[in-house]
Structure 1
Amino acid sequence: MFDRNAYEKRVEWYQHDRFGMFIHWGLYAIPARGEWVRSTEELTIEDYEPFFNEFDPVDYDPKKWACLAKEAGMKYAVLTAKHHDGFCLFDSKLTDYKCTNTKAGRDLVREYLDAFRAEGIKVGLYYSLIDWHHPDFPHYGDWHHPMRNHPECSNENRDFDRYLTYMHGQVRELCENYGKIDVMWFDFSYGEMTGEKWKATELVNMVRSLQPDIILDNRLEVSGEGFGSLATENPNVYSGDFVSPEQIIPPNGLIDNLGRPLVWEACVTMNNNWGYNAKDKNFKPAPMLIKKLVECVSKGGNLLLNVGPDAKGNIPDESVQILKEIGAWMKKNSESIVGCTKSDLPKPENGRITQNGNTIYYHVMENSIGFVPLYGIEKDRVKRMRLLSDGSELKIAQYWTVGNYPDIAFVELSATPHLPDEVDTVVKIEY
């Protein structure tokens, strides 16, 4: 039976923190053509093996990653402990296909966890339900396996239960051997590979017994486009704790079938790939990502923004610069993100609104001629109004040019044609 009170308590910190860093990193950083390279190019294990032998991230310093995430205003992070290629960034006792058997020679997950915890950032691990390296995972005819089109790689003598024992065992290792884990991000279900095909109830019960406060995504049940039973009155044991729309921000936020707000997180790449792609320079500009973060919170959701470090362990310069720009805005305006959620006020024409209790954060993203209208703000209820970035007093305009619109509060934000912050000027309004 679903315990909604326990659930709401479990996700409280997550709905407060709002902004996280996704980190996709593994052997695929060496071919540098994205994390799906083995599948898209139908590479055999032998084709892929040189990358295992070569893997030596000499510049890997998770302390730098953690400092960058903190500077950007991120409150939690999720690292790929194992992606679809089956390579483990942790010292699993259940496989030789792991970082400790490469030139790296050490447990990279443990170093990540230590570094991010030291900066006060909550820690999460991504674990792929799919495994293209394990001999018992379906090969021929699978939707995604590199050998899906190769009848010589038949599934005869492959034992999926044996794979599940391996998969469950690795998840147990992550839950038992690495201290408190705040998020476990499973990825993903498809076709008949969903729910109890993964022995999902057994898996989730095991995870929650070892990590009672952990929160889970919904992908034991669905893929990136699905909501799953979490959107119903009686979620399954393995429904997870949040919906995980991928590469999209829901147009109107998300609600369940009873009209209650759903907990959700949009996971988004900075360019067009999750894993490192040397030729992909199609990076989203920082101003756009700032606005998308605001949009997520204004709709009651989180943003998990991805970085894909290169083969040496460096986050790309473009991503570093973007995160620093986001951080400069967050340094002055994070109060309008962290601890906030959507408002009962409708989206205004010139921006967005986030809210924390009786405090409204009006995000002005479009300037006006003359005074700026604050749509939906009731003048008689305004106790105090300040420019969030510097705390300076703002007053409701009383002037002949706005006299014809007594139901709209106007404010002067600048004596020039430019907003104080051209990306997003935040007005803090206390009712």
Structure 2
Amino acid sequence: MKKTIQSIICLVMFCNLAFAQSNHDKLQWWKEARFGLFLHWGLYSIGEWNGKPQKGNEHFMFAERIPLKTYAAIGESFNPVKFNAEEWVKYAKAAGMKYIVITAKHHDGFAMFNSPSDTFNIVKATPFHHDPMKDLALACKKYGLKMCFYYSLGRDWASPDATWAHEGSKSGNTWDFPDEKVKDYNKYIENKVKPQLRELLTQYGPIGVIWFDTPEGTTPAQSESLRKLILSLQPNCIVNSRVGNGFGDYAVSEQKILAGAELKPWESCITMSGKWGFSKFDKAWKSPELLVRNLVEIVCKGGNLLLNIGPNSLGEFPDQSIQNLSAIGHWMKLNGEAIYGTKPWSSLNEYALNATDNHKDVMGKSGNDFTSKKISPDLYFNQKGNHIYVFARSWTATEIVSETLGQIKNIKDITLPGSKEKVKWEMKADRLIISLPEQAIPEIPVYVFKISTR
């Protein structure tokens, strides 16, 4: 009996170890990628409501309590004739991004894909009559990016069974379906969520991530069943933490960057402008310098940056987003080796300010963006193999003097990726002094130095 119990314990330990190893293996591409494109695109991408800014932007159906019938009528003129999947994917690839996450179904319940299980979709309910996700999946395959789907879980304002999860929740539609007593959330899960997940995982080839949002009132049993369904269809598909109840593969930080380094897998999703979805009134565009600063900080802390753009209802990227992607791409072409496949170093930064700013005073257009807008000189560090990378963000001095780097006693060489100019450096009084090459200030003033150790 004792041997039997020991055998069972060993078997359980072996299975847990095998699961952990399997989970680690399927996350490997994602952890090495470090940089992805987030796309919020749907009926809300009309960018206005009655000639005015939409209250709540992509949430405006909820914020303005628009009846489902009225909201669905938007689809009658939703015709993204300028949508070009290859163009979108090439923008992302040129920017150095490795995966794309797009809103297959947002909180409004409208499917931006061919969904045989629900006619409230772009193929059936718009004059476009075409499945853009099919085009995107093919373009991602062609250009070597991972195709991933966002899916709103607990919030669905088109479903009569999505319940009001708790006070302050935005999960259910109470203006069209006011009687909470007749709603059955499990019916919503079984009759809408699972059929649509099955469609997303069987119609478009390999999917990198199912990116859930707003688990709201989802129970542990429901979260577990969703994960099992996904893995039964695509065992290598990653599931983010918003499947709920601890059944995800990695954590999500929305419009925030973690305070310190974190070795467990995590991702920060951040808007490029002031809104998630397209708005004709959105002028709060972040500069390429600020966005690269965000990327560097997140990666040095062990995370991925999922950078969001809201295409318009015609299927176009806003001009400013294209310009930003191009500038970031030029920087990544020179410095991508310091981003991909790296991990936190023993020290995170130097000269970095701990104070946080008031985002409303700086940007003025976004209600939930808690990323710093300060631009000041500082140093961030990460590593890969025998190399330590030094990011001199917004650096204006002619040299770097670092006590942190002065602790390294086995430096072999220091180079500037993308430059043939020799980097001058010396150790002096336990400080590493690096002279910046005499060259023009780059388009994005974030220098990267590669320290090779013996």
With the length of structure 1 as denominator, give the TM-score of the two structures.
0.87
Amino acid of the structure 2 residue aligned with 1:216: V
Deviation for aligned residue 1:322: 0.9
1:175, 1:181 within 8 Å by CA — same for their partners in 2?
Answer: yes
Q: Does 1:243 align with 2:251?
A: yes
CA distance in 1, matches of 2:160, 2:317: 32
CA distance in 1, matches of 2:253, 2:172: 25
Deviation for aligned residue 1:141: 7.5
Q: What does 1:91-106 correspond to in 2, within 5 Å?
A: 91-101=114-124, 102-106=126-130
1:139, 1:153 within 8 Å by CA — same for their partners in 2?
Answer: no
Q: What does 1:115-134 correspond to in 2, within 5 Å?
A: 115-129=139-153, 130-134=155-159
Provide closer, same or farther for how the CA distance between residues 376 and 55 of structure 1 changes in structure 2, counting only shifts above 3 A: same
Q: What does 1:360-399 correspond to in 2, within 5 Å?
A: 360-367=388-395, 371-377=399-405, 378=407, 380-397=409-426
Matched residue, 1:267: 269
SS at match of 2:241: coil
Q: Note the alpha carbon deviations across 1:358-387, whole angstroms, 9 max, x for none.
A: 111111125465532244234641112111
Amino acid of the structure 2 residue aligned with 1:247: Q
1:77 aligns with one of 86, 100, 103: 100
Of 341-350 and 272-281, the range deviating more from structure 2:
341-350
Deviation for aligned residue 1:140: 10
Q: What does 1:25-424 correspond to in 2, within 5 Å?
A: 25-32=41-48, 33=54, 34-101=57-124, 102-129=126-153, 130-138=155-163, 143-145=169-171, 147-148=173-174, 150=175, 153-166=178-191, 167-190=193-216, 193-196=217-220, 199-221=222-244, 229=246, 238=247, 240-254=248-262, 261-349=263-351, 350-367=378-395, 371-377=399-405, 378=407, 380-397=409-426, 405-415=428-438, 423-424=445-446
Matched residue, 2:23: 7
SS at match of 1:11: helix
1:140, 1:147 within 8 Å by CA — same for their partners in 2?
Answer: no
SS at match of 2:261: coil
Deviation for aligned residue 1:189: 1.9
Deviation for aligned residue 1:173: 1.4
1:276, 1:310 within 8 Å by CA — same for their partners in 2?
Answer: yes
Matched residue, 1:402: none
Q: Note the alpha carbon deviations across 1:128-150, whole angstroms, 9 max, x for none.
A: 112111222226977215743x4
Provide closer, same or farther for how the CA distance between residues 374 and 105 of structure 1 changes in structure 2, counting only shifts above 3 A: same
Deviation for aligned residue 1:40: 1.0
2:163, 2:172 within 8 Å by CA — same for their partners in 1?
Answer: no
Q: What count of residue pairs does the alignment treat as equivalent?
A: 399
Unaligned runs of 5+ residues in structure 2 are 1-14, 49-53, 352-377
1:140, 1:155 within 8 Å by CA — same for their partners in 2?
Answer: no
Provide closer, same or farther for how the CA distance between residues 146 and 218 of structure 1 changes in structure 2, counting only shifts above 3 A: closer
Deviation for aligned residue 1:395: 3.0
1:218, 1:241 within 8 Å by CA — same for their partners in 2?
Answer: yes
Q: Percent same amino acid at aligned positions?
A: 32
Q: Note the alpha carbon deviations across 1:164-212, whole angstroms, 9 max, x for none.
A: 112111111111222110111011123xx03337x11111111111111
Deviation for aligned residue 1:314: 0.3
Deviation for aligned residue 1:157: 3.3
Amino acid of the structure 1 residue aligned with 2:391: H
Unaligned runs of 5+ residues in structure 1 are 222-227, 230-237, 255-260, 399-404
Deviation for aligned residue 1:84: 0.8
With the length of structure 2 as denominator, give the TM-score of the two structures.
0.83
Provide closer, same or farther for how the CA distance between residues 56 and 21 of structure 1 changes in structure 2, counting only shifts above 3 A: same
Deviation for aligned residue 1:152: 7.0
